[in-house]
Structure 1
Amino acid sequence: MKPDTPNAHDSQLEAAILGACLIETAAMPLVADKLRPEMFYEENHLEIYSALQSMYRDGKSIDIITVKNELAARGKLDAVGGPYELMRLSSAVASSAHLEYHVLILRQLHTRRSMRLGFQQLLGMSADESLDIDDILVEAHQLLERLESDGSMNEHLRSMPQLMTDTLEQVDARVASGSADGITGIPTGLAELDRLTAGWQRGSEYTIAARPSVGKTAFALHLARAAATAGHHVVVFSLEMQGERLGDRWLLAATRDVNPQHLKDGRLMPDELAQLREASAGLSRLPIHVDDHAVTSMDRVRSAARVLQSKGKCDMVILDYLQLCNMKSDQKNRNREQEVAQASRKAKLLAKELNIPVLLLSQLNRESDSGYSTDHRPGLHQLRESGAIEQDADMVMLLYRPAMHGKATDKKSTYPADGLGVVIVAKNRNSSTGEVYFHHNPSMTKLADYVPPMEWMMRNSK
């Protein structure tokens, strides 16, 4: 092998791999899924391997004659050196005995070249003060992601015995971590929702959708506080509200009787101020991180989550909300629906990569407001801007408050609508769907399990 050069390539190694693929039928199955054409540094080798890979995937026979014809059909035969070059490559190797080792080396050389090129570009970007530092960090993480992918292209292939071993290990882990009431994930803070979900599960994406002002953020803050109280590290990305406004809501939820209007206009009574200070001390001990950067992309969310998880400080991510994500697409002419679909897919990949639950808040369209359904109950068809949100989510929850639509009771439960919130679990990939009722105070800052009022219970027991 040649000594390491600035380009980090080895022409003889590339020729040996191509020669083995030309003379032995067992060669291409070994390399087709491990090498891509761009991993070959020499342009003629890149073109020959591109033809070989295409022929293999189309089920065509591979030998010197058929490869020559394929290159001729592509108009590349003369560019690669003609039939003589194919003869030279095939005669330069006796067998494919060390082919897998050669492939490993070639991939490492390609990774080194990609590293050098990528790091040079990052160095140039870091010196350009007109670029936002967050964008540069995103580029850095994307580079590392590409390098990691090239370094482990087939590591996720598992045999059935290995898969069953890994599956049983997870079963045993759920048994060991499960509580008496069957909660194996991160608690939701609502007993009925815990029973339906068994808690927020690792590697899963959850979508919580509603129309504006229904209480998506309040619901999410309740979930974050419940998870953190149970000792789990939660990261909240607030794209709509300033962090201090989230702090206001958490304080109101943790106090007994502080008037929300007094907190807003500063006319706090001494007792109210004392309650706020006491609540602040308790909330300060919770393992929650808040990012209220107004311009946030899913790549930025992933970068921040990865950094925090490396420090043991990211067990769950909450994004408020998906449609406000900054959609930075590498492809031109991508419409809004495709951009939202891409962000949703990245959220799903984030959940799987970091093995954490990811909760996405999402808007619903106006059909529920315009009387699409007689009682204004939302449905999956109202997920705004992309059906991919429903497709990617392991669970979709739709929030509904009948009192907002002038209802005296909830139609399905006949519970009094005042203070009643409904979580409609419209999709649940791993279990059943259903509805969960919760109680909220007038300011929608305190949420709890729903208990029908005594008057209603007495009236309906007759």
Structure 2
Amino acid sequence: MEKHINMPFALDYETAVLGACLLETKAMPLAIKFLRAEMFYDDRHQKIFSALECMFNEGRSIDIITVTEELKRRGELEKVGGPFFIVQLSSEVASSAHLETHALTLKDYYIRRELIKGQSKMLAMAVDMTVYTEDAIAATQEMLDNLNKDAAWNNSLRDMETLMSDTIELAEERREKQEEGVTGIPTGLTDLDVLTSGWQKGEAVVIAARPAMGKTMVSLHLAKAAAKAGHNVLFCSIEMQGERLGDRLILLESDVNAHRWRSGQTAPDEWIDGQNTARELAKLPMMIDDNPSMSMDYIRAEARMLKSKGKCDMIIIDYLQLSDMKSNDRALRNREQEVAIATRKAKLMAKEMDCPVILLSQLNRDSETRPGKRPQLSDLRESGAIEQDADLVLLLYRPALAGLATDKESGYPTDGLGIIIAAKHRNGETGNVYFSHNKSMTKITDYTPPMDWLMNQKTN
């Protein structure tokens, strides 16, 4: 397709930029902010700018003679047209007065050319039936990501005056929106709100536990609390069918017996309660995706679509190690490398979407051999990348499942006791958050010690 399209370029702008860099010392620092060698359309200009980049980065003087010598050393002087071509470049520009405008124009033309090339490649992949659809979509997303990075290049550079202004503006926003110390999205657990001030924009949160510890129920409780507070939640379940999540949400919110609901043996009043609860839950701003083969790129594309409609304030992914990590060279990677890439993408997604991303993750078996089976940060599967990229790591622990009658740290009885261990908190304190749950783990509430335990504490 691209053969039939006239590629956008501006040779006169290219010569103006190169000529300015040859003549004025202040030109190269400005040009290198916006341009790379491959952004020039003319191959000769690419070679010359590559030499200029190298010389500038090494702190060498730049003029017609030194650049000519550098190109000769590289064996490229004759390829660009010899010494005469270098002299000619410098004679075609008077000053660097409009250098920034010229550089931005060249970058714009480069992005347009890359977009044309990329779309041609995507079209070829789309009609090639030997290419998996997921791979074609992932390649498209990668191409757009790369172009987005170039389009926004250096927009993140701020002087201290701008940074302080932006920081105060954000702090003022927190002051206006905070409610009883919660500046982010409420978690649904009072003590967790105290610890975190709510889920914060741009943060990647990992909630990890051994199997059957209740990760999904806890994450649904968090999602429901956020949605009931009016925040749009995207819940991606790779492990569980959507209807099973629906069952659990109904059990979280109603007084229906979990066993009777799942076995179809609900009493008439329970059935009415379940139906009424479902109608109330249907009003929540929450989206569920149960695609069993979704990748991080798939989730990101979906989140971007929802964000464009103003419907993505929080993302929950259940769970990390099941996400399908599509890539052209995935056969060359081990599982730890793939998890590292997925975790990094989750963190970048949180920053790009400007919302919290909560990842559920498995713990390895090391905690099973530890007295009390209490988890710790090193128990994270493929823990290096997760620990590095996560802003907050929460470990889920139910001491009763370890056969303990009393939690050693708090002294609380373990019947119905759940503990969220904040093992890492980049922007706050670590510590324990205690919550209550019923036997089927379908009800989660703030923890209040039993009255008989409190009475014993007073007498002792």
Quickly name the TM-score band, shorter chain normalised: over 0.9
Q: Which runs of 5+ in 1 are unaligned?
A: none
Q: Which residue of 2 aligns with 1:261?
A: 259
Q: Which residue of 1 aligns with 2:48?
A: 48
Q: Deviations over 1:51-108 (max 9, x none)?
A: 1112111212112232233223333233222323222222222322221111111111
Take 2:401 and 2:207, find their aligned partners in 1: how far apart are those partners? Answer: 18
Take 1:343 and 1:72, find their aligned partners in 2: how far apart are those partners? Answer: 45
1:304 and 2:302 matched: yes
Q: Deviations over 1:151-186 (max 9, x none)?
A: 22111111111111111111111111111x211111
Take 1:263 and 1:73, find their aligned partners in 2: how far apart are those partners? Answer: 79
Partner SS, residue 292 of structure 2 = coil
Q: Which residue of 2 aligns with 1:58?
A: 58
Q: Which residue of 1 aligns with 2:109?
A: 109
Q: Which residue of 1 aligns with 2:420?
A: 423
Take 2:194 and 2:117, find their aligned partners in 1: how far apart are those partners? Answer: 51
Q: Map 1:152-191; keep pairs closer than 5 Å.
A: 152-179=152-179, 181-191=180-190
Task: Rate the CA distance shift 1:13–1:133 in 2: closer, same or farther, 3 A.
Answer: same
- Residue identity opposite 1:193 in structure 2: L
Q: Map 1:59-98; keep pairs closer than 5 Å.
A: 59-98=59-98
Q: Map 1:57-456; keep pairs closer than 5 Å.
A: 57-128=57-128, 131=131, 133-179=133-179, 181-258=180-257, 260-331=258-329, 333-371=332-370, 374-456=371-453
- 1:236, 1:289 within 8 Å by CA — same for their partners in 2? yes
- 1:317, 1:356 within 8 Å by CA — same for their partners in 2? yes
Q: Deviations over 1:363-408 (max 9, x none)?
A: 111110122xx22211111111131211111111111110111011
Q: Map 1:24-43; keep pairs closer than 5 Å.
A: 24-43=24-43
Take 1:66 and 1:388, find their aligned partners in 2: how far apart are those partners? Answer: 45
- Residue identity opposite 2:148 in structure 1: E
Take 2:89 and 2:313, find their aligned partners in 1: how far apart are those partners? Answer: 53
TM normalised by structure 2 equals 0.94
- Residue identity opposite 2:436 in structure 1: H
Partner SS, residue 383 of structure 2 = coil
Partner SS, residue 48 of structure 1 = helix
- Residue identity opposite 2:286 in structure 1: I
Partner SS, residue 452 of structure 1 = coil
**How far has the Cα of 1:132 moved from its partner?**
5.0
- Residue identity opposite 1:303 in structure 2: A
Partner SS, residue 112 of structure 1 = helix
- Residue identity opposite 2:323 in structure 1: C
- 1:207, 1:395 within 8 Å by CA — same for their partners in 2? yes
Take 1:232 and 1:152, find their aligned partners in 2: how far apart are those partners? Answer: 28
Task: Rate the CA distance shift 1:266–1:129 in 2: closer, same or farther, 3 A.
Answer: farther
Partner SS, residue 207 of structure 2 = strand
- Residue identity opposite 1:7 in structure 2: M
Take 1:414 and 1:200, find their aligned partners in 2: how far apart are those partners? Answer: 29
Q: Percent identity?
A: 53
**How far has the Cα of 1:295 moved from its partner?**
1.0
**How many residues matched?**
455
Task: Rate the CA distance shift 1:37–1:201 in 2: closer, same or farther, 3 A.
Answer: same
Alignment root-mean-square deviation, CA:
1.8
- Residue identity opposite 2:154 in structure 1: N
Q: Deviations over 1:311-359 (max 9, x none)?
A: 1111100011111111123556333222211211111111111111111
Deviating more after overlay: 11-20 vs 274-283: 11-20
Take 2:390 and 2:34, find their aligned partners in 1: how far apart are those partners? Answer: 31
**How far has the Cα of 1:133 moved from its partner?**
4.7
Take 1:14 and 1:403, find their aligned partners in 2: how far apart are those partners? Answer: 71
**How far has the Cα of 1:131 moved from its partner?**
4.8
- Residue identity opposite 1:239 in structure 2: I
Q: Which residue of 2 aligns with 1:11?
A: 11
Partner SS, residue 284 of structure 2 = coil
Take 1:250 and 1:220, find their aligned partners in 2: how far apart are those partners? Answer: 10
- Residue identity opposite 1:29 in structure 2: P
Deviating more after overlay: 398-407 vs 374-383: 374-383
Q: Which residue of 2 aligns with 1:460?
A: 457
- Residue identity opposite 2:217 in structure 1: A
Partner SS, residue 403 of structure 1 = helix
- Residue identity opposite 1:45 in structure 2: H
Take 1:314 and 1:236, find their aligned partners in 2: how far apart are those partners? Answer: 10
Take 1:363 and 1:165, find their aligned partners in 2: how far apart are those partners? Answer: 41
- 1:204, 1:394 within 8 Å by CA — same for their partners in 2? yes
Deviating more after overlay: 134-143 vs 234-243: 134-143
- Residue identity opposite 1:397 in structure 2: L
Take 1:305 and 1:139, find their aligned partners in 2: how far apart are those partners? Answer: 17
TM normalised by structure 1 equals 0.94
- 2:138, 2:327 within 8 Å by CA — same for their partners in 1? no
Take 1:58 and 1:275, find their aligned partners in 2: how far apart are those partners? Answer: 73
**How far has the Cα of 1:291 moved from its partner?**
0.6
Take 2:234 and 2:132, find their aligned partners in 1: how far apart are those partners? Answer: 23
**How far has the Cα of 1:261 moved from its partner?**
2.6
- 2:236, 2:316 within 8 Å by CA — same for their partners in 1? yes
Q: Which residue of 2 aligns with 1:22?
A: 22
**How far has the Cα of 1:140 moved from its partner?**
3.7
**How far has the Cα of 1:275 moved from its partner?**
1.9
**How far has the Cα of 1:307 moved from its partner?**
0.6
- 1:337, 1:385 within 8 Å by CA — same for their partners in 2? yes
- 1:235, 1:317 within 8 Å by CA — same for their partners in 2? yes
Take 2:352 and 2:221, find their aligned partners in 1: how far apart are those partners? Answer: 26
Task: Name segments (4+ residues, structure 1) moved above 6 Å.
Answer: none
Take 1:172 and 1:257, find their aligned partners in 2: how far apart are those partners? Answer: 44
Q: Which runs of 5+ in 2 are unaligned?
A: none
**How far has the Cα of 1:222 moved from its partner?**
0.5
